[in-house]
Amino acid sequence: MKTKIHLCEPGKRVRLDRLPTDPENGSETKLEAMERTEALRLVLRDLQERLYAEGRRGLVVIFQAMDTGGKDGAVRSLFAGLDPAGVDVTGFKGPNSSELAHDYLWRIHQRVPARGKIGVWNRSHYEDVLAARVRRLVPEEVWKRRFGHINDFERMLSDEGMVVVKYFLHIGRDIQKKRLEERLADPSKHWKFDPADLEDRLHWDDYQRAYEEALERCSTEWAPWRVVPSDRKWARNLALAEDLVEVLRGLDPCPPPSRYDLSRIVIE
């Protein structure tokens, strides 16, 4: 199997029902993909170290998906082996009372990583144009104007040296059903099960439309959306690793030269 990530072009319509959730056919087997992913983790580790040492730019990696879409697994696969000093992982739940007392981007901005670091967001500010829309938590005129806020926010991050990488993990409805059933059948996964997931599942089509508009309206030159076929976890993990390595290689982070004349140092 070979997974092709779809890069959403700014200004182009997105139709999720026309984008695959399963990888395209290819010669790569599951074992080969897992071996390749493991090799890419070593490359990511080196690139992260260089980014951290350089200290001029940062990376924000955003994961969005339907329930059971694989956000937790993708984060573990990509970042578990990296230096924790250079990676900040945030899982955004529903806002608490303190966060609700501020504007909806307030809590997000606080989790922007320092230069040299990678910030990983499991869910994000996009919940404020997704769940807030489908669950009718705010009026339509409110969530609609947020697209402009989000684009401006991400543009500011880009201008300030943050590279924003956004992944939508695209799964099929049947796969979601299977994964929810697996959670019910496995006591070790019961902690993951939330009856609210079933309520959201009833609004599958509404969420798909909400995602389509978010992908269309907020895929920009400075922060494009990437749609990742995610029905097969091992293929998804390889595709993500390949893509993130490409992003970091494009940055070509370079550690600064030493402030000292090391040629004159002798260790006794």
Q: Could you write out the DSSP letters of every residue in 170-224?
A: E--HHHHHHHHHHHHH-GGGGGG--HHHHHHHTTHHHHHHHHHHHHHHT--SSS-
User: Which pLDDT belongs to residue 24?
Assistant: 65
The answer as to whether 187 is a domain residue is no
Neighbours of 69 (CB within 10 A): 23
User: Which pLDDT belongs to residue 23?
Assistant: 76
The answer as to whether 183 is a domain residue is no
User: Which pLDDT belongs to residue 16?
Assistant: 98
What is each CA distance from 173 to 45, 205, 259, in whole angstroms? 34, 10, 56
User: Which pLDDT belongs to residue 91?
Assistant: 97
The answer as to whether 244 is a domain residue is yes
Containing domain of residue 10, as a range? 6-171+208-255
The answer as to whether 18 is a domain residue is yes
pLDDT tens-place string over residues 86-131:
999 999 999 999 999 999 999 999 999 999 999 999 999 999 999 9
Residues of the chain with pLDDT below 50 are none
Q: How many CA atoms lie within 13 A of 79 on its CB side?
A: 24
The answer as to whether 200 is a domain residue is no
User: Which pLDDT belongs to residue 258?
Assistant: 76
The answer as to whether 178 is a domain residue is no
- CATH no. for residue 246? 3.40.50.300
| Domain count along the chain | 1
User: Which pLDDT belongs to residue 26?
Assistant: 54
